[in-house]
Structure 1
Amino acid sequence: MNMALVMGSMQITNRLDLEDTKTKQIILGCYVSAQLLVLAISYIIQRSIQSKKDTTVLKYMDQPKPMSGEQPKLITTTNMAYDLEQNAQAQKQAMIGLGLMVFLHFQFGVIRPLVVQSILPVKNALQSKFAQVHLFGKPAEGDLRRPWKADNPFAALTGAQEEQSEAAEKAAIKKAEKAAEKAGKSESKKDL
């Protein structure tokens, strides 16, 4: 879908007179409006998360960055805190993208990517998992179950592996909890 939108928007830009000042202003206006819409969607989602006050405990294994050599850590939080964190990351990404595109436009006169970036961020904001749960009211089940993982374009081919990874994650959580429990007991023995 993203590729179709990119190709379609490129066809649109091929038909526009990108040397015309008025066309440039319209494209820039559409881009800024789209970015403001993305931030407004994010703000609405944030308010929705805060109003629900979902304090259900959420435990998951935080996977370290590839090649960092770190071990996965057990994270214990609430659904509300997790959702707010995910929404904040989306806001940060939107601001970075906005800053980058504004820099490229005013420094180098880049116009074509503004057309694509007027469409994709809005689509992505509306299709995000936290938007599905908090904006459209879908239950946090199945693909929308927390913790949310990045969409894998090959997930349909590896459905069985995903079920195995969920079982492996549950086992890893139990193992990390037991290790933390043992460490807590040994600390309390040292204090005595």
Structure 2
Amino acid sequence: MNGPLQNLAISLGVMQLARKVPFDDPQVLDYVRIGYIATQTITLAVYYYVSQKVKSKNDQTIIKYVEASNPMSQEPGALVTTTVRDYDLSETSKLIKSTYTSLAMMVFLHLYMKYTQPLFVQAIMGLKSLYEAKPVKIHVFGQPAEGDLKRPFKGVAGMFGPASDPQTDKAAIEEAEKRIGAKKEE
């Protein structure tokens, strides 16, 4: 089962489980709030730990790839030249921003709209996404950067189709370098 379908199945299962939780009981609600806050705190702490680990390793191996182009535009993807350190830091930064966005959304849903079930669901899904984060797999769990974890990371497949992955083949990189050279001459 691909990632989005698996997330949907887990979300639906956790929502069914959340229906059985008595959120009217203030004590249960407090436990759910504490669980959600603990999950988000653990997630952010792990991401900051990954950032520190990446900085301490300071891997200056150069990575070249062509970003996936926007499907709505005719523009070809841009050439990216970076280091393993900078790439991992940018990926970890994306994960941190995603966590903060989710946190802001949950604060709105819970405090303003008075929804409680999403706290329960997001606490579980937050742990799942932490476990699946590629920088966490490499720097915390010690998995080698091979296959699915090879940099640059492949895009996550969407619900309605495959992801557009960055191109790492020599021909695509040379084509992008030629485009850049042609633009500089103009």
TM range (shorter): 0.7 to 0.9
Is structure 2 residue 120 aligned with structure 1 residue 115? yes
Distance in 2 (alpha carbons) for counterparts of 1:76 and 1:5: 37
Provide the residue aligned with 2:15 in structure 1.
10
Question: SS of the counterpart of 1:59?
Answer: strand
User: Could you say if the C-alpha distance between residues 179 and 15 of structure 1 is closer, same or farther in structure 2, counting changes exceeding 3 Å?
Assistant: closer
Which residue is equivalent to 1:172?
172
1:16-40 CA distances to partner (integer Å, 9 max, x unpaired)?
2111111111111111111011101
Q: Which runs of 5 or more residues in structure 2 are unaligned? A: 1-5
The letter of the residue matching 2:51 is: Q
- Displacement, 1:70? 3.3
Shift of 1:135: 1.0
Paired residues of 2:36 and 2:122 also in contact (CA < 8 A): yes
More moved, 133-142 vs 88-97: 133-142
Deviation per CA, 1:140-189: give whole Å up to 9, x if none: 111111111223379xxx8xxx8xx857x4321111223445666x58xx
Q: Distance in 2 between matches of 1:128 and 1:15?
A: 30
Counterpart contact for 1:60–1:75, Cα < 8 Å: yes
The equivalent of 1:131 in structure 2 is 136
TM-score (norm 1): 0.82
**SS where residue 81 of structure 2 aligns?**
strand
Percent identical residues: 35
Instruction: Provide the TM-score with structure 2 as the length reference.
Output: 0.84
Task: Please say if residues 5 and 116 of structure 1, whose CA atoms lie closer than 8 Å, have aligned partners that are also in contact.
Answer: no
Name whichever structure is richer in helix by fraction: 1
Q: How does 1:14-33 map onto structure 2 within 5 Å?
A: 14-33=19-38
- Aligned partners of 2:68 and 2:167 also within 8 Å: no
State the alpha-carbon separation in 2 of the partners of residues 28 and 16 from structure 1: 13
Matched, 1:81 2:94: no
Q: Which amino acid aligns with 1:176?
A: A
CA distance in 2, matches of 1:20, 1:91: 32
Q: Is this contact kept in 2: 1:132–1:138, CA < 8 A?
A: yes
